[in-house]
Amino acid sequence: MTEPLVSVRGLTVDYEVDGQLQRAVDRVDFDVAPHGALGLVGESGSGKSTIAFSLARFLPAGAVISADHLIVDGVDVLSLGTRALRDYRRTRIGFVYQEPARALNPTRTVGSQVAETYRLQGLRAAAARRATLAAFDDVGLPDPPQLVHRFPHELSGGQQQRVVIAMALAADPRLLILDEPTTGLDSRVEAEVIALVGRLRRERGFATLLISHNLPLVASHAERIGVLEHGELVEYGEAQDVVEKPQHAYSRLLVDAVPPLDAPSRPVVPSHAEPLLSVRRVTKRYGSALALDDVSLDIGRGEVLGLVGESGSGKTTLGRVIAGLARAEGAVTLNTTDAASKVPVQFVFQSPDASLNPRRTVRQTLARSIQLLHGETDPEELALSTGLSPDVLDKLPDELSGGQKQRVAIARAFAGRSPLVICDEPTSALDVSVQAKVLDLLVELQERTGVSYLFITHDLAVVRRIAHRVAVLRHGRIVETGSVDDVLGDPRHPYSASLVDAARSLRGGTTRSVPITAAA
């Protein structure tokens, strides 16, 4: 056996909270081989990100980290001086941060932020620019020469995430740490990105640490998998073993919770004479770029319309137009009869992080929503109904894990009775077990209250679970609509077909076969 690239023994991290230590990671041991790939899975708050940051030795003030040893590429990370630490970060590791929207500096173009990393590697300006364009291309960003000049807020969520990946790869690291790198991506791009990472890993010879709550995804990439629960590594072994013969109860839970792609879909809702929502010939431009191109669709009462499409296809934009948050050409008509629903459309935003006011507690947010939407519940009840424990109520968004934030965002939309809820990837940040629960919840809520959803997602399994009908969006155009079974089972449009294929292949193999590049 060769010397491992990463060798961790007895890693323990405590956060200092009001003068008391709270353990986040408890004596964790693992290795990563020089070109190896380790996957870490675990529920929200189990310490995954903390481990990732420990490897970069970048923990917030107040964190105390200790380990018997923590070696990366022959470097004893915990003993580095300031300068050495800087060099270590610059040359040995790449880091893909969990929340791309916040990992990018809002005041600078995305291109300059990636080029900066190349400059750090010693490239000259022109070379760095060229390398940036190439890297954008590599991670599947459209039209790089134009995109590099955009600011983060002008990109779609998936595009932002890809920029962050490109930025991490630019460092040409020995160890690439990916902390939930694909949460915002559709299944096809997700697969592509993972394949890309896998390919680059082999080509350039770096090791990866992939963190995700998406077990199939991790399994498709990693050789070994570690399962974390409450800061402890409860299972650690070959990927295949973990997925096929999970030992620990929690691992089993994770495996079982993966939504099957061929589960029975919900029957189509018999169409009313008058749809709840009708969108006619909506066109939206950002500058000269078309984000929506002549989109028309209907949603019936009590119907869930799944909206799928690759990243940047205009899903969020359509949602915003329907909600009245963005102006566009065309007509959006909502026929509500329920006079009580003062606020007819609710929105669960793609990035819950930004959609919660950082200075208001969960309780304040929920209470206000209940008030505004004339709900008949109270914050406690609302929190419980979305699987939030009541003690989060007095926390501020920054004190919540990603999953919790998303649940707050969902809870908020259901604070009252709005006939239409637009869910923009509401489960993308959730770990599978929670995701399943939330989906159950959303279905239950929908059935109980009879609202309609426009359900935006890139996860076809999720669509199958929740949607009655599905619409496929590509480059701002609806390329296919129909029942879930029709579109997913027998896609007519080649683009739909490729989406379905990608999803299947990613899930089909539970070992680390990488579907898209399998031929290679």
Partner 1 sequence: MTVTAALPDAEIAELLVSPRTRSSRLRRWRVLVARPSFTISAVIVLFWVFAAVGWRLLGLDPFADTGQRLSAPSAAHWFGTDRIGRDVFARVLAGAEPALLVGPFGAALATALGSTLGLIAGYRRGWVDQLFMRGFDIFLTLPTLIFLLVIVGAFGGSPLTIIIAVGILFAPGIARIVRAAVLVEMGKQYVPSARIQGESAARLIFRELLPNVWPQVLVQATLSIAGAIFISSSLSFLGLASAPPSPDWGLAVNENRTYLQAAWWTLAFPTLAIASLVVSLNLIADNFREVFRR
Partner 2 sequence: MTVSFSSDANASVQASARRGLAVLRGRHNQVPRLIGQRLLQVPLVLLVVSVLVFWLIKIVPGDPGRNALGQYATAEQVQAWNEAHGLTGPIVERYFSWLIGFVTGDWGTSLIYGAPVRDLVIERLGNSLFLGAVAFVVLVPVAFALGALQARREGSRTDRALTIGLMSLASVPEFVVGVLLLIVFSLTLGWFPIQSSISLDGAPGDVTRALVLPAVTLALGYLSVLARMTRTGVLETLDSQYYRTAVIKGLHGAPLTVGHVARNAVIPTVSLLGIYLGSLLGGSAIVETLFGYPGLGALLVSATVEKDIFLLESGVMVTGVISLLALLLTDIALVLIDPRVRFEEGE
| Near Mg ion by CB under 5 A: residue from 208, 212, 313, 316 | 316
| Near ligand ATP by CB under 6 A: residue from 15, 234, 325, 501 | 15
d(CA 509, CA 516): 12
Q: Which of residues 421-460 bind ligand ATP (CB under 6 A)?
A: 458
d(CA 177, CA 462): 27
Among ligand ATP, Mg ion, partner 2, none, partner that 414 touches (CB below 5 to 8 angstroms by kind):
none
Choose between 20 and 337: whose C-beta lies nearer to partner 1.
20
Among partner 1, ligand ATP, partner 2, none, partner that 66 touches (CB below 5 to 8 angstroms by kind):
partner 1
Min CB(172)–partner 2 separation in Å: 12
Does 136 help bind partner 2 (rule: CB under 8 A)?
no
Q: Which of residues 302-321 bind partner 2 (CB under 8 A)?
A: 321
Which residue, among 214, 120, 231, has the nearest Cα to 168 in the 3D structure?
120
Strand partners, 308: 472
Does 158 help bind ligand ATP (rule: CB under 6 A)?
yes
Choose between 13 and 373: whose C-beta lies nearer to ligand ATP.
13
Does 416 help bind Mg ion (rule: CB under 5 A)?
no
Contact indicator for 105, 98 with CB cutoff of 8 Å: no
- DSSP state letters, 153-209: GGS-HHHHHHHHHHHHHHT--SEEEEESTTTTS-HHHHHHHHHHHHHHIIIII-EEE
Residue carrying the six token digits 């070994």: 224
| Near ligand ATP by CB under 6 A: residue from 17, 263, 273, 520 | 17
Residue carrying the six token digits 């505004």: 372
E-only strand ranges, 33-150: 37-42, 63-66, 69-72, 75-76, 93-96
Where does this chain bind partner 1 (CB under 8 A)?
A: 15-19, 22, 57-69, 78-79, 106, 153, 320, 323-325, 342-343, 345-347, 349, 351, 354-360, 368-369, 372-373, 391, 395-396, 398-400, 409, 412, 415
3-class DSSP state for residue 358?
coil
| Near partner 2 by CB under 8 A: residue from 10, 22, 66, 108 | 108
d(CA 66, CA 41): 22
Does 406 help bind ligand ATP (rule: CB under 6 A)?
no
Tokens found for residue 438: 């939330």
Does 62 help bind partner 2 (rule: CB under 8 A)?
no
Residue number with the smallest Cβ distance to ligand ATP:
158
Instruction: Give Cβ neighbours of residue 397 (< 8 Å, ≥ 6 apart).
Output: 353, 356, 357, 358, 360, 362, 405, 408
What's the Rg (C-alpha) of the chain? 23
Part of the chain binding partner 2 (CB under 8 A), chosen from 9-17, 133-141, 198-206, 284-292: 284-292
Choose between 52 and 197: whose C-beta lies nearer to ligand ATP.
52
Min CB(108)–partner 2 separation in Å: 7
Q: Which of residues 254-313 bind ligand ATP (CB under 6 A)?
A: 286, 291, 309, 311-313
Which residue, among 494, 370, 436, has the nearest Cα to 214 in the 3D structure?
436
Choose between 252 and 360: whose C-beta lies nearer to partner 1.
360
| Near Mg ion by CB under 5 A: residue from 49, 355, 404, 481 | 49
Does 27 help bind partner 2 (rule: CB under 8 A)?
no
How many CB atoms sit inside 10 A of residue 293's CB? 17
| Near Mg ion by CB under 5 A: residue from 54, 350, 446, 481 | 350
Does 87 help bind partner 2 (rule: CB under 8 A)?
yes
DSSP state of 351: -
d(CA 256, CA 251): 9
| CA-angle at 462, arms to 458 and 463, nearest 5° | 75
Part of the chain binding ligand ATP (CB under 6 A), chosen from 131-139, 398-406, 460-468, 481-489: 398-406
Residue carrying the six token digits 């299944």: 187
Instruction: Give Cβ neighbours of residue 422 (< 8 Å, ≥ 6 apart).
Output: 319, 322, 323, 345, 346, 347, 348, 453, 454, 456
For residue 16, give Cα distances in angstroms to 62, 135, 200, 267, 506.
5, 39, 38, 51, 40
| Near ligand ATP by CB under 6 A: residue from 47, 198, 352, 375 | 47
Choose between 146 and 513: whose C-beta lies nearer to ligand ATP.
146
How many CB atoms sit inside 10 A of residue 185's CB? 26
Which residue, among 100, 204, 193, 186, has the nearest Cα to 140 in the 3D structure?
193
| Near ligand ATP by CB under 6 A: residue from 12, 50, 355, 361 | 50
Q: Where on the chain is the footprint of ligand ATP (CB under 6 A)?
A: 15, 17, 24, 42, 44-50, 60, 98, 154-159, 184, 286, 291, 309, 311-317, 350, 401-403, 458
Which residue ranges make up the site for Mg ion (CB under 5 A)? Answer: 49, 98, 156-157, 316, 350
Binding site for partner 2 (CB under 8 A): 56, 58, 86-91, 93, 95, 97, 99, 102-108, 116-117, 119-120, 146, 149, 151, 153-154, 164, 167, 171, 282, 284-289, 321-322, 324-339, 344
